[in-house]
Structure 1
């Protein structure tokens, strides 16, 4: 990648030519020109205010629903560390949590405090910031059902608090300002019985383990469900269950999941996903839409790097 000019100073950690593949659940992919882990929201805002507006900024979370292309990511990749963005504060009718807090951890904190309504988060891999950005959902609930507000830092370094209505949450989408990074959120909850909440979370955990390849190197649900249909059923009907490309495979357990069986590259995984899309479209006329977020450039654009 072409080198950038001098970057602003920061209290957080800024690393050049940083590998990103190991930060994703697929354990595959390229490098970041720069990887920035801000110390806190103020550090993030100050850095972005001082950063040349022509330099691209990409934010990543826990890497659970992410594919980093093998050519790497130009500009600055921001990853919020738990040390500055992982706090969880319990309130009588909700939780305020940093964007780096894992969805599962938030659900567990709520359950321990006897707060109901957040158990479904235990079935969503990843961190809370990413869950808000894509209005993540599972087991009949979604972020839109429980979100009060989200605090963000915009690309120009402004810190804002947006109410849930301002985000216009819809299926796997939130209307965030371009380049905005979620830093903290408040989720509504209600008093509940700890034993009942624990039982619901156990049911969700058992359902996930029975139906999804939760112990594999996967990116979670690969494609969004089309209106009136289920992506996995379309993929199965198109004969794609178990389909392989090198070490990339469509899961035999749940065919809306892609797996890295060992040495698959991001190129292999994306190409397999595109083959699935092509087969489903040929069989049904439906164009599946990627749910996994794909960032960066293909390897061929990097001159063979």
Structure 2
């Protein structure tokens, strides 16, 4: 696939794109190419035109809400699924069909409007359905795959498959399938129950998280039986800064961009937190955010 836009695509194709524009951290380098498919058919057409070398340089993202692009940028092509795969509807069988680019808070609002429950926790997940499926995202003790009945994905050979949820193994921030190591999700069918009493009361995120300052949500996966934020705070890093990146004193599992932080500032702060927790507690924190590209 050349640098020029492939033929017959209906989505948006841009070159030399500042990825800080597409990351909730508002930091990072540039992508050589960015493609935002118009819909599933447009995505399939794009992939059909990609040769093996181009496929190896594709990076699929949603809304960029858990993404850090290193300062030297991305040499390949970034495919932003959140731009066009946004189909969302209640089907006759009672399931909710949600495409990969649908924002999870939007899915939560849709469920509420339709008189459904089991989705209140989704309002606290800043990413898309595709990203939430890939990592079994969750909050408030709930997780995405608890609601999934089946999914549509693209296999490595380009075939579109529908696979029941029972074929996947999922746990806390983890997902696996015996035949699909890194599935590219197109959509999910969710089975949602009637709402529980008080489910749709406003959550407490604003009291406990640094809403309003550029961040990527939880940086680390919580270790079993503990909380990454507590470990980082106990290691003495609450409010610690590198450049314009800071470990939030409000919630130490969040790193905020105080204004003008580089991706290197953020990544160095990530590594400082990991090192401090490892030294103090002997715990290796696992990343929840995704880092792509090359360091400057």
State the TM bucket, normalised to the shorter chain.
Answer: over 0.9
SS at match of 1:21: helix
- Residue number in structure 1 paired with 2:172: 171
- The superposition leaves residues 180-215 of structure 1 with CA deviations (integer Å, 9 ceiling, x where unpaired) of 42221111112337xx4xx423342xx101100111
- Residue number in structure 2 paired with 1:189: 192
- Residue number in structure 2 paired with 1:8: 6
Q: TM-score, normalised on structure 1?
A: 0.90
Contact 1:18/1:33 (CA < 8 Å) preserved in 2? Answer: yes
SS at match of 1:104: helix
Within-5 A mapping of 1:50-69: 50-55=49-54, 56-69=57-70
- Residue number in structure 1 paired with 2:86: 86
- The superposition leaves residues 63-87 of structure 1 with CA deviations (integer Å, 9 ceiling, x where unpaired) of 11111111111211111244x3112
Contact 1:120/1:141 (CA < 8 Å) preserved in 2? Answer: yes
Give the aligned CA root-mean-square deviation in angstroms: 1.8
SS at match of 2:107: helix
**Would the alpha carbon gap of residues 156 and 73 (structure 1) be closer, same or farther in structure 2, given more than 3 Å must change?**
farther
- Residue number in structure 2 paired with 1:214: 211
Question: Structure 2: which 5+ runs fail to align?
Answer: none
The farther-off stretch of 18-27 and 161-170 is: 161-170
Separation of aligned partners in 2, 1:217 and 1:277: 21
- The superposition leaves residues 103-144 of structure 1 with CA deviations (integer Å, 9 ceiling, x where unpaired) of 111111111111111111011111111111110011111012
Contact 2:63/2:82 (CA < 8 Å) preserved in 1? Answer: no
**Would the alpha carbon gap of residues 181 and 63 (structure 1) be closer, same or farther in structure 2, given more than 3 Å must change?**
same
Separation of aligned partners in 2, 1:144 and 1:276: 29
Q: TM-score, normalised on structure 2?
A: 0.92
Deviation at 1:93, TM superposition (A): 3.2
Deviation at 1:6, TM superposition (A): 5.4
Deviation at 1:7, TM superposition (A): 5.8
Contact 1:72/1:296 (CA < 8 Å) preserved in 2? Answer: yes
Within-5 A mapping of 1:141-152: 141-152=142-153
- Residue number in structure 2 paired with 1:302: none
SS at match of 1:236: helix
- The superposition leaves residues 238-265 of structure 1 with CA deviations (integer Å, 9 ceiling, x where unpaired) of 0011000010000000000000000101
SS at match of 1:220: coil
Contact 1:94/1:115 (CA < 8 Å) preserved in 2? Answer: no
User: In the comparison of the two structures, how many residue pairs are matched?
Assistant: 290
Separation of aligned partners in 2, 1:11 and 1:242: 45
- Residue number in structure 2 paired with 1:263: 260
**Would the alpha carbon gap of residues 167 and 33 (structure 1) be closer, same or farther in structure 2, given more than 3 Å must change?**
farther
Separation of aligned partners in 1, 2:265 and 2:224: 28
Separation of aligned partners in 2, 1:151 and 1:259: 35
